[in-house]
Structures are given as structure tokens and as C-alpha cells.
């Protein structure tokens, strides 16, 4: 991975829908050879390909298209004279001496609207919809479109940027809902299906396999992403990732790409994490997380050997925040946190998730490696 970062301009791209997605071009006709159906088995036999038709027919109606509108106001929202370069010498002349002609003209309030598209899925019959935080972030208006073409203005219940999960509500009843699964049961190599609106093409279905679990992405310490090779693109954001049993196991959120489009690396938020966030958002409109108050780093084999540890695991404490929970409990720089709340800490990337899952104010037992031995701290 480090070699790839040095030699390529690879970036993690949040699946921001393009403005042009609001008026997508029509796809050209193509002949598609259907894969041989594998019957009704949840897991196809080796050498056969699965048939996703039953899954899509059963769960597809609960997948929605989400469109947002944001109004940008103030200086620079619109040039006073469309088509004229603001650096043109005559631009300032017209701005000074031509009379204002409407709200978007000189000396008047300038504004413009931007539009974007994303996806989501209905988790309750009374209208609660899960999506990504970045899909509805800063939106003045959120519209949810169902597969039966009905459209509803949605109310944002809450959003959490750290996990990129948002909960919105539409005023409707008896809606179709998805079946929720267990992300901890997901296995690397199993088939998964994404349904969403890539580039505005509503309810598009793509499939692939789980490539890896528990991925940590740069700048993100709270989500153990599910990595897949399912084709997802801008507009798929917030859409569900299904297993072959038709259960949602994740929310499609990010891609790894040179171009901003699909290149075989897609990442989904595990549904158990998303549901925990959504329950908090539904209850209080915000998310509360535990905080330990330390700066940590990975335990390398060399560090493990210098500490007298048999294997490289846990998280090394490099700094302790004065007055924080760790400081008050007696955790010191140089300690290696190896267990937290009764669970083993395999690496430094896992610890922030474990700490964040604990309610603020809770008492937790922490085991640290110090002076060639284990010390338990509350």
C-alpha cells in the first residue's frame, strides 16, 4: 500500500453525486448475457453463479433515491454578469454603473443552487431512511423518491460525520422496508449486491464479493469498513449492501480511485455500526462517544521486542491528555494497551472504535503492558 501511495495519485473519494446526475444521459442499448441461475439456494455451489433476481424483487422497493438542494448565498455565488470574466476590466465598470436587475444582479443578493443525488434505504414502515451523512450534508432541501415514483420532502433527524451515517424521515406509512442483517457474520469471499443510483440511474443493481473486512481508511478511526469489488460510483452513496440472504450488511460509502469513478475498490459501513448511530440519532439527534484521552501508535515488531512482548499487538500510548480519563486512571506514555473493556486490542486502529462504543462516564477495565508485565487499570 505504501508503494502505491508513493507512486500514484490515488485518493479516497466520498461518493459525492455529480451535479449533472440530476439530468443523466440515457444509457445506450446493450445485449447482456444472463448468468445461469443457481436456484433458490442462499449460497451457490462452487462453480455456479448466483441468481440475484429474487433478492432484487423482494428488497429493491425499499431502496430510495435521495436528491438534495443547497442554496449558496453571498459574494461570488453568481457573477454579476453571466458569461463575463470577473477579471475583465469592463466587468467592474458594468458592476458600478449598470442598475441592478433582480436578485441575482449587481448590488443585489447573489445566490445559486446546487443539486446532488444519492441513495438510501427504508428501515421502518413509518418512513425512517438511512443514508450517508455526506449525501445530505449542508442541504437546504432533501427529497426522497420511491420506486413507485412518489416523492417526499424529508426531515433530517440527525447525522454523524465521523461514521458518515445520517437518518432522515419522510411522512408516509406502510412503506416497504429492507431486511437487516449481521455484519459480523460477513465472510471474505461471499457474494454481495449493491442497489443505488449511480450517476442518477435509479435502482441500479451491481454485484461482487467481499474483498476484506475491518479495513481502516486514512483519517477514519471509527469504522471497520467492509471492502468489496462491487461496482459503486457517485450516486451509490447511502445505498444498501446486501448478502445473498437479502439482508443489509452495510451502507456503501467510499471508493478508492485515481479518477473519482469505480476502480474495483469499494467500502461499506457495517450495518451494526450504522444502526447504533441511527438509534442514537433517533433518540437524541446526536451521537455520544467515549473518550480515553490518549495519543496512540502502532506496535511494530521492533517496539514489541524492546518492551519485552512476545508479539506485536495492542496500541502504544505516546501522549496522555492532562486531566483526561486515562490521565486520571494512571495510564502513562509508553504503556501498551492490550485489552479494553474485557476485549483484546489487536492493533492501534481498533482501539478508537472500542473506546467510542463506550458511553461517556462509564467505568472500564483496561490492561496495559508496563515494565515487562500486565497491569490492570480502571
Q: Would you name the residues annotated as active-site residues?
A: 134, 164, 237
- As a whole number of angstroms, the longest Cα–Cα distance in the chain is 80
Per the DSSP assignment, residues forming a β-bridge with 212 are 227
- Rounded to the nearest 5°, which phi and psi values hold at 151? -125, 140
Dist CA 9 CA 369 (whole Å): 39
| Nearest Cα residue to 68 out of 215, 182, 200 | 200
Dist CA 230 CA 74 (whole Å): 41
Other C-beta atoms closer than 10 Å to the C-beta of 101 total 11
Per the DSSP assignment, residues forming a β-bridge with 339 are 344, 367
Dist CA 199 CA 374 (whole Å): 53
Residue 61 has what DSSP assignment?
Answer: G
3-state class of 19 per DSSP? helix
* Cβ(103)–Cβ(111) below 8 Å: yes
Amino acid at each position: 500500500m505504501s508503494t502505491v501511495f508513493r507512486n500514484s495519485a490515488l485518493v479516497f473519494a466520498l461518493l459525492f453525486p455529480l451535479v449533472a446526475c440530476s439530468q443523466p444521459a440515457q444509457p445506450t442499448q446493450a445485449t447482456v448475457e444472463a448468468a445461469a441461475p443457481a436456484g433458490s439456494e442462499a449460497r451457490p455451489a462452487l462453480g455456479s453463479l448466483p441468481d440475484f433476481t429474487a433478492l432484487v424483487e423482494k428488497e429493491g422497493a425499499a431502496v430510495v433515491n435521495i436528491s438534495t438542494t443547497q442554496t449558496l448565498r453571498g459574494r461570488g455565488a453568481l457573477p454579476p454578469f453571466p458569461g463575463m470574466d470577473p477579471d475583465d476590466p469592463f466587468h467592474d465598470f458594468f458592476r458600478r454603473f449598470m442598475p441592478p436587475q433582480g436578485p441575482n444582479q449587481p448590488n443585489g443578493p447573489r445566490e445559486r443552487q446546487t443539486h446532488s443525488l444519492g441513495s438510501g434505504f427504508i428501515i421502518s414502515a413509518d418512513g425512517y431512511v438511512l443514508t450517508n451523512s455526506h449525501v445530505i450534508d449542508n442541504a437546504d432541501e432533501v427529497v426522497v423518491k420511491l420506486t413507485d415514483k412518489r416523492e417526499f420532502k424529508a426531515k433530517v433527524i440527525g447525522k454523524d460525520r465521523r461514521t458518515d451515517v445520517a437518518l432522515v424521515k419522510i411522512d408516509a406509512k406502510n412503506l416497504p422496508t429492507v431486511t437487516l442483517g449481521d455484519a459480523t457474520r460477513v465472510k471474505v469471499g461471499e457474494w454481495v449486491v449493491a442497489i443505488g443510483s449511480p450517476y442518477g440511474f435509479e435502482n441500479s443493481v451491481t454485484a461482487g464479493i467481499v474483498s476484506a473486512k475491518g479495513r481502516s481508511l486514512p483519517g477514519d478511526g471509527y469504522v471497520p469498513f467492509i471492502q468489496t469489488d462491487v461496482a459503486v460510483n457517485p450516486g451509490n452513496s447511502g445505498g444498501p449492501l446486501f448478502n445473498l440472504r437479502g439482508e443489509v450488511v452495510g451502507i456503501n460509502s467510499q471508493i478508492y480511485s485515481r479518477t473519482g469513478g469505480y476502480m474495483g475498490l469499494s467500502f461499506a459501513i457495517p450495518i451494526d455500526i450504522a444502526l447504533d448511530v441511527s438509534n442514537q440519532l433517533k433518540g437524541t439527534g446526536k451521537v455520544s462517544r467515549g473518550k480515553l484521552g490518549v495519543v496512540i501508535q502502532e506496535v511494530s515488531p521492533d517496539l514489541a521486542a524492546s518492551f519485552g512482548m512476545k508479539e506485536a499487538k495492542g496500541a502504544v500510548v505516546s501522549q496522555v491528555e492532562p486531566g483526561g480519563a486515562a490521565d486520571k486512571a494512571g495510564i502513562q506514555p509508553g504503556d501498551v494497551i492490550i485489552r479494553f473493556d474485557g476485549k483484546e486490542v489487536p492493533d492501534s486502529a481498533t482501539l478508537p472504535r472500542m473506546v467510542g462504543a463506550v458511553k461517556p462516564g462509564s467505568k472500564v477495565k483496561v490492561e496495559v503492558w508496563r515494565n515487562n508485565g500486565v497491569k490492570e487499570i480502571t
